[in-house]
Structures are given as structure tokens and as C-alpha cells.
């Protein structure tokens, strides 16, 4: 499907949305299960392409593992290979081969793995030979790059003969994702000590643990956006927990400022419209995947927004900062860097009588973040199948809520 046309739908039906399972939780649970000997039952595994790719490759005995465009899968499997018993080549799509992995590669080499880049230094494809002898039990990594590098190292740490002390340098980004990893490791029988900038993990054995994956808070964020922007809307999102391991539960507080109240119930959360602020300042360091959603809501509601903590957006599926600037400009909205790594969104949002086409840049979050603008006018989303990466049923759910 090249394009999907979304009709102007200012009213959102009072429906229940069966959210997909969390990709972040699913991918971690699958790695932890593999490290514990595949003894655990993992329930409600995500149907997202990234997770299904992870499942397929974990079962593969081939030398070459093609992760397609799944960044988490690339990083987690690279680290897993380092404590395995088989040399592997990890590769992916052309875009994946432009996404840096050197920080993880350096860390694995310091510990004792052999890592060779087969095309461009610091980028996939790469060959990883497992650790035969652990060279050190103390390494340092930058804290403000993708937390997936850090999580990948943490999950293999207890399998190392000497354990590991991981020192995070500088600002720590996406802290809740690191904490999620440690919390899930604890459920699978492994303890860790996080003091200031250092995480210490002694040699330990993972244990069997029956794990049920929660619904996806990242996926929930787009429905908060629909409610915020619609003239009238009350939605129930199924399968979300008030006490969640997922950092993107931060959307509850963010959207409370932007006009959506959350009421937790036994089987999910009820969303209802409330008044919104005229100006907000949000730090996305802990939840960068919410930035596009918030930017679009602020644009359409003409809320002045100061955004920080966007550093990692440049190395995602696309350069998300650049993509946001380009697509928001179509609605007379400016996203400007007013000082280093501080962005200001100023909106003179204009509704067009003609449909506006949204480029998605092979990025699932661009497609889903801009979809709620159909509450304002007719829009066209190009390459809509990109949502299969994390939320395969998204367009079906949009149809349920808008028609």
C-alpha cells in the first residue's frame, strides 16, 4: 500500500482499543529467556515486525542474521552473540547499515569478544566472535546515546565469568529503559546494584520466570493524541498498568498538560478531554519516542513547546528532528533549535482545504504521530505499512475509532 487517505474525523468514537503488546518488554523477555536456557513461558509477545524478527533469529542456526530494520534486535543479538558459542554476521537494511553500533562494539571488544566491521567502520554488517576469555570486568560507556547499547551489555553481564561493572559517562538518557532492563533481569533471578553512574552485576544464573508482556505505552501515546485533538472523544485503552515497567508511561503526565486526563481501571486506562496549557517545556531524555507525538499535538493545538533531550532522535529509523521540521512546516509550524539541543516549537497551524501528504521516511513513529491530524483535516500518509514495525493493527484501530 503506497498511501492511506484519512478523512477529516473531528469526533472520535467511544470505543475500546486493544493495544499491541510492548515491543520493548517483548524483546527483553526473549533475550532473558534465551540466556536462561529457553525454559520460560512468555505470554502476550508483541506481533510487531521487530519482535517477530527477534523470535525468528533466536531460533536460527545460520551464520548470518538479517535483522532488517530492527535496531533493538541488532543491538541485543550482537551482545548475545558475544556470550554464545557461534560466530555470527549481523546485517540489516541499507538504513540499518547507516545506524552506528561502534559504542557497543568497543564495549564488547574490551570485555573480550572479537568484532569486525565488514563494510564501514563502526556500522553493520559486522562479524562477532564470542568471548573466550574475559579481559576486564569494568568498562565505561557514554550515557546519552541509545539506551539499547547499555541494556544489551547489562543483560549479558551475569553470564560473564567475572561479572561486570558498567560506568556510564556524562548525562544518562532514556534512564527508564535501563531501569526496565534491570527490573526484568531481577524477575529472571539476577540482581544488580546501580549507584550514581555505575551499575554492578556479579556472575549469576538466570532462572525460569513466566512473564506476561504488558500492552505498549508507546502505542498508547497516539491515542492520547487523538483524544487531545478531537472535538469530542472518550477512549478506553486495554491492557495498560498504572505500575508499569515502561518509561513511556510518562505520556500520562505529558498529556495531562496537553488536554487529556487518564483514569486507571482494572483492565486499562480511560482517556477523557480536559483543558490544556498554553505553553509547556518537556525534557524527552527519558522518553525520546514520545517526542514526535507531543510535537504534533502542540502544533495542532498551537501550544508553545520547548523540547530538550532529543539527541538520540538523530540516529533512529530516520533523523527524526529533520523529518519533524520538514513535515510540520507543511502546516505552518516551525521547530527551531534556539540553543544547542534546545528546540522551540512555534505554531501558526493552518488547516488546508486540500489533503496534505505526510512523508514517513521509513519511520513507523512518523506515520502514527501525524495520523491524529485527521481530526483537523483530511491527510494522506505515505508508505503506511511502516507501522508493522511496532503496531501492525494501527490503521484497523484508526478505522474503528474514526468511522
Cis-peptide into 125, omega within 30 deg: yes
Cα gap 50→70, rounded to integer Å:
5
Cα gap 171→4, rounded to integer Å:
40
| 46, burial (CB in 10 Å: exposed 0-12, middle 13-18, buried 19+) | buried
Residues 6+ apart with CB under 8 A from 2: 382, 383
3-class DSSP string for 110-177 = HHCCEEEECCCCCCCCEEEECCCCCCCCEEEEECCCCHHHHHHHHHHHHHCCCCEEEEEECCCCCHHH
**Ramachandran sector of residue 239 (left: φ over 0; alpha: ψ -120 to 50; beta: rest):** left
**Could you confirm whether 363 is annotated as catalytic?**
no
Strands, E, within 326-395: which ranges? 333-339, 342-347, 356-358, 379-382
CB 27 within 8 A of CB 247: no
CA angle 291-50-192, nearest 5°? 75
CB 348 within 8 A of CB 367: no
CB 302 within 8 A of CB 334: no
- Other CB atoms within 10 Å distance of the CB of residue 302: 13
Partners of 263 in the β-ladder: 270
Cα gap 36→205, rounded to integer Å:
7
CB 238 within 8 A of CB 23: no
Which residue of the set 66, 289, 363, 397 is catalytic?
289
Which residues are annotated as catalytic?
289
Amino acid at each position: 500500500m503506497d498511501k492511506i487517505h484519512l478523512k477529516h474525523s473531528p469526533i472520535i468514537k467511544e470505543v475500546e482499543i486493544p493495544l499491541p503488546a510492548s515491543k520493548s518488554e517483548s524483546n527483553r523477555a526473549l533475550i532473558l529467556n534465551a540466556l536462561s536456557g529457553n525454559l520460560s513461558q512468555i505470554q502476550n509477545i508483541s506481533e510487531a515486525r521487530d519482535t517477530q524478527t527477534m523470535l525468528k533469529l533466536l531460533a536460527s542456526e545460520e551464520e548470518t542474521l538479517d535483522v532488517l530494520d530492527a535496531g533493538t534486535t541488532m543491538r541485543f543479538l550482537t551482545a548475545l552473540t558475544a556470550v554464545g558459542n557461534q560466530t555470527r554476521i549481523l546485517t540489516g537494511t541499507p538504513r540499518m547499515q547507516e545506524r552506528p553500533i561502534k559504542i557497543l562494539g568497543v564495549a564488547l571488544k574490551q570485555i573480550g569478544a572479537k568484532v569486525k566491521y565488514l563494510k564501514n567502520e563502526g556500522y553493520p554488517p559486522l562479524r562477532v566472535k564470542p568471548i573466550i576469555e574475559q579481559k576486564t570486568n569494568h568498562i565505561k560507556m557514554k550515557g546519552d546515546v541509545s539506551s539499547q547499547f547499555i541494556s544489551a551489555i547489562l543483560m549479558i553481564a551475569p553470564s560473564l565469568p567475572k561479572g561486570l561493572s558498567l560506568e556510564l559517562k556524562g548525562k544518562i538518557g532514556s534512564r527508564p529503559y535501563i531501569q526496565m532492563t534491570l527490573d526484568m533481569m531481577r524477575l529472571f533471578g539476577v540482581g544488580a546494584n546501580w549507584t550514581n553512574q555505575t551499575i554492578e552485576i556479579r556472575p549469576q544464573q538466570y532462572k525460569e520466570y513466566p512473564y506476561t508482556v504488558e500492552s505498549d505505552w508507546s502505542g498508547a501515546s497516539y491515542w492520547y493524541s487523538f483524544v487531545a485533538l478531537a472535538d469530542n472523544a472518550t477512549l478506553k485503552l486495554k491492557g495498560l498498568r498504572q505500575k508499569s515497567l515502561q518509561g513511556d508511561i510518562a505520556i500520562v503526565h505529558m498529556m495531562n498538560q496537553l488536554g487529556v486526563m487518564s483514569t486507571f481501571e482494572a483492565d486499562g486506562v480511560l482517556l477523557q478531554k480536559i483543558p490544556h496549557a498554553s505553553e509547556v517545556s518537556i525534557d524527552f531524555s527519558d522518553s525520546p519516542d514520545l517526542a514526535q507525538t507531543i510535537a504534533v499535538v502542540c502544533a495542532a493545538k498551537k501550544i508553545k513547546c520547548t523540547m530538550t533531550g532529543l539527541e538520540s532522535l538523530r540516529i533512529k529509523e530516520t533523523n527524526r528532528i529533520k523529518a519533524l521540521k520538514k513535515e510540520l512546516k507543511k502546516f505552518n509550524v516551525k521547530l527551531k533549535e534556539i540553543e544547542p539541543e534546545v528546540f522551540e516549537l512555534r505554531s501558526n497551524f493552518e488547516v488546508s482545504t486540500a489533503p496534505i501528504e505526510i512523508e514517513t521516511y521509513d519511520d513507523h513513529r512518523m506515520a502514527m504521530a501525524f495520523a491524529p491530524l485527521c481530526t483537523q483535516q483530511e491527510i494522506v500518509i505515505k508508505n503506511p505499512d511502516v507501522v508493522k514495525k511496532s503496531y501492525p493493527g494501527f490503521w484497523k484501530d484508526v478505522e474503528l475509532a474514526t468511522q
